[in-house]
Amino acid sequence: MPEHSQVRLQTARLRLRELGDQDLPALRAILQDDEAMTAYEGAFDERMTRDWILRMRERYRNDGYALWAVESRDSGAMIGQCGLTRQHILGADVIEVGYLFNRAHWHRGYAVEAARACVDYAVTALGADRVWAQVRDTNIASMNVAIRLGMTVRGRFEKHYRGVTMPHLAFALDAADVPGER
Ligand SMILES: CC(C)(COP(=O)(O)OP(=O)(O)OC[C@H]1O[C@@H](n2cnc3c(N)ncnc32)[C@H](O)[C@@H]1OP(=O)(O)O)[C@@H](O)C(=O)NCCC(=O)NCCS
């Protein structure tokens, strides 16, 4: 059970809180899984997994947000990650919503539920006028999450990561189109 102060967002089924070293085993099950990491060109090794936590903790310190651990409110288990990061997309500094879940918990609507709460937070608490999601052009599951969030495609660009050129689509949702913000 996390400290109450660590909980950043809560939905009907999920709790989002900061990632820490105690999440390493659950994080390995996501970041070291070849299938979950297809869009990132395959599984991370142990060093990359540990560096991931350090990078998120640095973002918490500098920005006040990053990808958070997603816990099931039922079991308390860490089943995924979802949150907000500062990114540079199509020439602009923007806020992106990101989501990565443990394969055992896919297809239950968790990604959309967690991401919706993050989009709302970006608009209401951070004052974002638009929230983005950058999706590799092969990642249909992620595109469908973005579409379920109400996002539309705003452009295309290429990323260069792990020695590979990856075409991406830039999805976004305007604050005015977030339910409750109209
Ligand atoms: C992307 C990801 C988070 C989606 O998780 P999920 O648990 O399936 O998402 P949800 O259950 O909330 O599903 C939302 C919608 O996405 C779509 N979807 C999910 N997986 C899909 C798949 N494999 N193929 C096509 N559509 C898919 C469905 O339309 C689904 O809605 P529905 O079940 O009501 O029809 C998950 O596949 C994942 O963790 N992938 C690896 C990490 C990753 O690539 N993250 C995105 C980086 S940009």
> Residue 47 domain-assigned?
yes
Contacts of 161 (CB under 8 A, 6+ apart): 40, 41
> Residue 76 domain-assigned?
yes
> Residue 66 domain-assigned?
yes
What is the tens place of the pLDDT at every residue in 38-75?
999 999 999 999 999 999 999 999 999 999 999 999 99
What is the tens place of the pLDDT at every residue in 99-132?
999 999 999 999 999 999 999 999 999 999 999 9
Expressed as residue numbers, the domain containing 81 is 4-177
How many domains in the chain? 1
Pocket test for ligand 1, best of 99, 139, 166 (most atoms within 8 A of CB): 99
Ligand 1 proximal residues by C-beta, below 6 Å: 36, 39, 99-101, 106-112, 135, 139-142, 144-145, 148
> Residue 156 domain-assigned?
yes
pLDDT at 144: 98
* Res. 181: pLDDT tops 90: no
What's the 149 CA to ligand 1 centre distance in angstroms? 12
The CATH number for 149's domain is 3.40.630.30
Residue 106 CA, closest ligand 1 atom number: 7
Direct distance between the N- and C-terminal alpha carbons of the chain, in angstroms, rounded to an integer: 36
What's the 18 CA to ligand 1 centre distance in angstroms? 22
Residue whose CA is at the smallest distance from ligand 1 atom 18: 141
Question: Taking residues 135-149, what's their average pLDDT?
Answer: 98
What separation in angstroms does the CA of 181 have from each of 65, 97, 106, 138, 146?
A: 21, 18, 29, 32, 18
Length of the chain: 182
> Residue 182 domain-assigned?
no
> Residue 168 domain-assigned?
yes
